[in-house]
Structure formats: C-alpha cells, structure tokens
Amino acid sequence: MKKIENKINNLVKMLNKWNYDYYVNDNPIVDDIIYDEKLSELFQLEKQYPHLIREDSPTQTVGKIASSSFKKTKHMIPMLSLKNAFNEGDLMHFNKQIIEFDYKGDYFVEPKIDGLSLSLIYEKGHLIKAVTRGDGNIGEDVTNNAKQISNIPLTINYKKNIEIRGEVYIGVDQFKKINEERRNNDEKLFANPRNAASGTMRQLDVLKVKQRGLKMIAYWAMNDEKTFSWKTQEETIINLEKLGFKTSELSVKILNIEDVISIIKKIEEKRYSLEYEIDGVVIKVNEYSFYEKIGYTSKFPKWAIAYKLPGEIKVSTLLNIFQTIGRTGRVTYNAQLSGVQLAGTWVQRATLHNADYIKDLDLRIGAQVKVKKAGDIIPKVISAIKDDSFFKLKKWKEDKKCKICGNKLSRTENEVDQYCINVDCPARMEESIIHFVSREAMNIKGLSTQQIKKFIELKFISEFSDIYYLKNKKEEILKLDGYQERSVNSLLNSIEESKKVSLDKFIFALGIRHIGKKTSKDLAKIFGSIEAMSKLKVENLIEQEDFGEVKSNSIISYFKDENNKKKLNNLVSAGLNPIFISSKKENDSILFGKKIVITGKIENMNREEAKEYFENLGAIVLSTISKNIDYLVIGEKPSLLKMSKVSKDKIINFNEIKKIIV
C-alpha cells in the first residue's frame, strides 16, 4: 500500500507542477498526450484507492490558481471543467448514463476552443465585470483587458442582469504574427495560441492587449438568479448571436449519439482549416430542465462531456540534422525530414532546438521519428522509434564548429545554447541586417530578406553602414531584374529617412544579445546617447531598474568589442548619431529627468496609469529604492517602509506636485 501511496503522491506533485507551468507561467513543459496519460493513471489509482485521494490532487480541482497581479473575484456560479472522453466507447458510456435519467431529447455539439475561459457580467445591458476561470471558484478580475477585445460588446440589448461565458482565443494567423514580432524583439516565444491568449489577458498594459487581437466565442448564459435565461443550449446560442456575440459556426443540435460521433469526425476533418485552434468537441444535453436531475460531481457536470481530439502525430525519416545561425550567433539545430502531411500542411523540416534536446531524445540520422506540431503550429520531432535497425545507426554528436564560417562554437557554462562568436560570420551578418532594417528597428521599407541576400551576394552590403551608401550603387541596382526607377528611389528615400530614427529603435536595431525593445527604451531614456552608453560600467547598469548581471554584461561586452566600435563609427560617419529626445522639455516639469519611485495610491490611477502619468512629465519611474533616486512620490496610504529608506528632503507628496506642475 505504501508503494501505491508514493506513486499517487508523485503523480500529484508532477501534475501540479505541469499545471502551474501551463496555466500560471504560460510555459507548457510536456505534450498534452503525456499529461493526459499521467492524469488518467492518477484517476484510475484514485478510483481503486479512494482513501488515498489528496485534497490538492488535480482530479479534485478545476484549473489554474488566480494570479496575484489582478483582484481575486469569487464566481457567482462555479466555472466547472468537463470530463474527457478519448474514444467512441467513452461517448457511448456517457450516452448510457444520460438515458438512465429518461432523457429522450437532443444533444448540442460545439467545438472545444483551446483558449482562456472568461465570464462576463452585464447589469442593465452594460458590461461591468470580466473574470477568468481561475480555480473554478475564484478567478481574476480582468475587466479592463476584456474591454479591449473587439468582439465583446460593451453594451447589449438585454435589460436584466446576465452572466455570459465564452472562450478567449488568438487566431492561428495572428499567433504567427505575434511570435514573429517576439522573435524580432529577442523575446521568449509563446508555446501556442492558448498560452498567448492567457498571457495577454494577464497583461497589465491594456494597449498591448488591444494590439494582440484577441477574440471571444460565447457559449453559455445564466441570469443573476442562477437560472438559465433560455430553455435549451440551442436557444441560448441563437440569442447570444442576436445580442451581438460571436458563436462557433460549427455548433449544431444533434438527434442521437451515433450522429454525434459522425459530426465529431467532420469537425476533426475541418480542424486545421479553422481560424482558431480546437482541442476537442463538447457534447451537452440540449434541454436545461434535465441538468439538475442529471447532476454534478465536485469537478464536472454529468450532463456534458468533452471528446478530446488527438494531437496529430506522424512518422517520418530523419534525413539530416543541420544548423541555422541567428543574428546573435545562437545555433539552432533543425531536422530535415523525408516529408509528411501534418496538421494540414506538408512538413519537411522541424525544430530540434539545441544539442542537449537531440542527445536527450537520442535522435540519429536515418532513424524513423515521430513528428507533431507544437501547439499545432511549429513542427517538432518528439521521439525516435527505437526498433532493431535504430541501434545500428551512428550516435549523433554535437557540432564543434559553425557550418557557415568554420569558426569554433562556444557554449557558456549553465547555458544550453551554443554560439558562433565570429561577428563576421556570413549567417550572423545576414540575420543581423535583416533585423536592422525591420519595422520595429530602423524601419527601412523596400529591403526584403531576398533583396538583402542579393545585395550581400553582390557585395553591395557587408555591414549596417553599407546600407547608407547604396545610393552610390543606384545605377547598378537599376540593372538588376525587378528593379525600376520608382522602387529604387523609394528605397533610397526610406534609407535616408531612417537616419532620423529614435535612439531606442537604433539601440534595438543593433541586435545586442538579451536586449529587446523594452530594454532599448529604458537605455535610451536613462543614458540619452550611444556615446554615453559606450562609456558605461557594469555597476552603472546593475543599479538601474530591470538591469541584472546578464543584461549589463551583454551591453558592456558589446561596446567594448573593437569590431562593434568600428561598426558604430561607420554608422556615425554615414550620418547616424541619434540621441534621446523626450516629449517634454526640461522647463516643462520639475520631474524632468528625475528618477522617482511611487508609493501609495495616486488619485484614480492604477499602477501602470500612474507610471505613464509621471513618464509623460519626463520622469524616470523605478520600482525599487536606491541611493540614486531623486524623489519618493507618495500618494494615499504610502509604504512606511519605503519612506523610512529615504531622507525627508527626497519625499514629495503628489498633491504638492500637482500645485507646482507647469
């Protein structure tokens, strides 16, 4: 018995860790298939040994814990999850249980959208609150973020109080666009659209929420007396559409379980052509009058079930493992496959991440491998088929040299990634220039990736500054196929215009390792010029907000490097030397250029609004107190601890600031 108890304890610990990474950190670390297998194993053990069920078992809870970033709100009616069905046998068993309650009505079938569950509260036709699922009983109040979602009505033509629930998602194409932007900004990529939607709804920056293009599909409604507003699920969907909510075009009423199984197969066929991702199909008893009679468990309603669609996995042959080199020199290993139809597309390449990933899976060239799409988006090799022929293949060894330039690869202690440290590596140069001209950086229109490759091949470009001398190559460019006077003039004008770029965009364009858009803005605001940054020491950076040792060392190393110094000098010679220009002039505000920390409530502003308010006055807003701050600005109920850390002459009341702001 002790052995069984230990097994249950280990499964609970493991699954709760996976849940935390998935729901709270937005960072899934195992495939859904593995998670479902372990959850099913735990469920079966608990069924056999109910006295060993733990309170913290994931079989006893609904979903994720509420984040501390938002106000916690109790649901008027718990947001329960659904029991899973994995095969037709599970569906037939569900149907048998429903029939036992003398139900002879219809089922209602809906796609299970892989997103974030959201509850919307309307009073007298106005949206007053939006709450995430949380743990099913307590969620996060994300009202301000929900109001940024374009297809959530702020007012509806329904004068009674009503709660409407739906699934917030990011479309597949939008997800690709967001991840491409994050890749360009050297930010961590979202694992899948669900994580992107979840991470976005927990953003404190409402502008970013609006920019991400979230949408919601509604599927449920109940009035404030905890009774359904309409009589059937079909009627609810029809009325939700009339009220202006988006519902799924695949939702349909079905007469019997056999037809349910048929429609599931049709939905599965359409799965990869939909705007949004789905991971299953929900089957509900259509008539609400039977819900209380059929009943609930502590976690699931018994009148509904979710048929889990399998993540599509195909087998292919691993023909080769090859490198790609990024702009910072980071090595990414990739798989060349024999080709396979996967999730609606023909796949011949897949990511293998880094050398450790390949060695951990013991992947060997020539082996049969299993391939899936991570988040149904990015092709990924997940395992090798280790049959008799597999062990005759040669073990793979990590590359020691860059396959592009032949330079030795470097790996820093405690890091999984290898780097080509040759700054003149053609692959690094190409990727760096592509990043330099991108919209988020220098925003040079008319220089596509293919054009850059062509200009490098012709030796028109070999570093950033060469772009600004393309005007001297105009006649040669006009002789190339596809180039006309108008397009070349437009390109040259865009290049000239980019000389006026802001300092933060210029810093970002340089492609300094670990330095994304936000850090570039911080550097520009704090230090004001490239010249000032080039003279920095590590201690100057570490004392700044959000600058740890890794970022600080990366910045210092960049400006110490002789090759980088030469490139910067060449850019200056070409006419670029941007400095930070605040929207405020020095005499406009007593806070201009001052480093401040805010404590207490600032009028009717939330934390982000207060920060933006002071930044618009020219202040540099920090979150932690150091000896270098100029003022501690206090509002209502300030932190006494923070006030005790600074001298009285540095403490200034917000009400006093308002009186003297000019």
Q: Which of 404, 420, 421 is nearest to 557 (CA)?
A: 421
Return d(Cα 512, Cα 551) in angstroms, integer. Answer: 9
In angstroms, the Cα distances linking 291 to 60, 77, 145, 284, 301 are 21, 14, 33, 10, 8
**What residue type is assigned to position 202 of the chain?**
R
Identify any residues that bridge with 155 across adjacent strands, giving them in sequence order: 126
Q: What whole-number distance in Å separates Cα of residue 489 and Cα of residue 486?
A: 5
DSSP for residue 142: -
**Residue ranges of E strands in 293-396:** 304-308, 313-325, 331-342, 345-353, 368-374, 378-384
Mention every residue, 6+ apart, whose C-beta is less than 8 A from residue 14: 38
Q: Is 343 helix (H, G, I), strand (E, B) or coil?
A: coil
Residues 129-146: b if buried by 16+ CB within 10 A, e if exposed: ebbbbbbbebbbbbbebb
Nearest to 608 by CA among 29, 22, 12, 70: 70
Beta-sheet pairing, 278-285 with 107-113:
antiparallel
Q: Which of 112, 215, 284, 551 is catalytic?
A: 112
Closest C-alpha among 126, 105, 147 to residue 260: 105
CB neighbours (10 Å) of residue 99? 11
Report strand pairing: 595-599 vs 631-634: parallel
Helices (H), 535-630: 538-542, 549-560, 562-573, 607-616
CA distance 224 to 123: 9
Strand, helix or coil for residue 106: coil
CB 212 within 8 A of CB 200: yes
Is 112 tagged catalytic?
yes
Of 189, 164, 169, nearest to 111 by C-alpha is 169
Going by C-alpha positions, the residue among 395, 364, 399 that lies closest to residue 381 is 364
Give the separation between CA 250 and CA 235, rounded to whole angstroms: 15
Residue 461 sits at φ, ψ, to 5 deg, of -130, 135
Tell which residue, 455, 432, 445, has the closest CA to residue 508.
432
Q: Are strands 126-132 and 345-353 parallel, antiparallel or unpaired?
A: unpaired
Which residues are catalytic, by number? Answer: 112
